[in-house]
Amino acid sequence: MHTLYLASQSYSRHMLLRQAGISFETIEHEADEHVHDWNASLYDIVRELAASKMEHVQLPDHDGDVFYVLTADTLSVDQHGNKHGKPVDYTDAVEKIQALRDGSTVSTGFCVRKYARANGQWTVQDEHSGVVSAETRFYVPDNWIDAYLMHQPHALSANGAIAIEGYGSQFLQRVHGSYTTIVGLPLFEVRTALE
């Protein structure tokens, strides 16, 4: 079995892969996630960010190995057309929760590359990428926000401060589309790409 390297520190992405029985190791990337055109479509932004992360991964140094690298990015757009990423602090997280609770579209872009290394040179042998979107209504009433963020501290580093799994599941009113896309990684499409 070849190694899968995940270029993400996301709690939710780690959780999804572990629950699916997909073993992985974490690597870093040096992409600037804040450099993108916010006027572009949600689809284009997450696709470009996933691709940019792939171009900036810190690949391991193992000659003779064949391995896979996975990158991803998730963003939301609220009912007023405003785009949301990770909150910058607690206050921003509260504002995002309030802005997104009337309903949002969530898009996750991903990229999977198959690499080989020989004689100190990297070779890309295959690549698959995609964007998967879903609609959701995640409604956390004002009087529950503090408790939600206390029980879901990883929401402070999640797209739109949305963490629909675990404690957060009680605030999930509806999902139309891929549940795992909202969590942060479209597992069906990623598994297919890896196959």
pLDDT digits (tens, 9 = 90+) for 23-34: 999 888 877 766
Residue 65 predicted with pLDDT over 80: no
User: Residue 31 has which token pair?
Assistant: 């992409």
Residue 67's pLDDT is 87
**Residue 73 known to be catalytic:** yes
* Average pLDDT taken over every residue of the chain: 91
How far is the C-alpha of 33 from the C-alpha of 181, rounded, in Å?
A: 19
Give me the catalytic one of 73, 92, 102, 146.
Answer: 73
What distance lies between CA 164 and its chain's CA centroid? Answer: 13
Residue 35's pLDDT is 60
The pTM of the full predicted model, rounded to 2 decimals, is 0.91
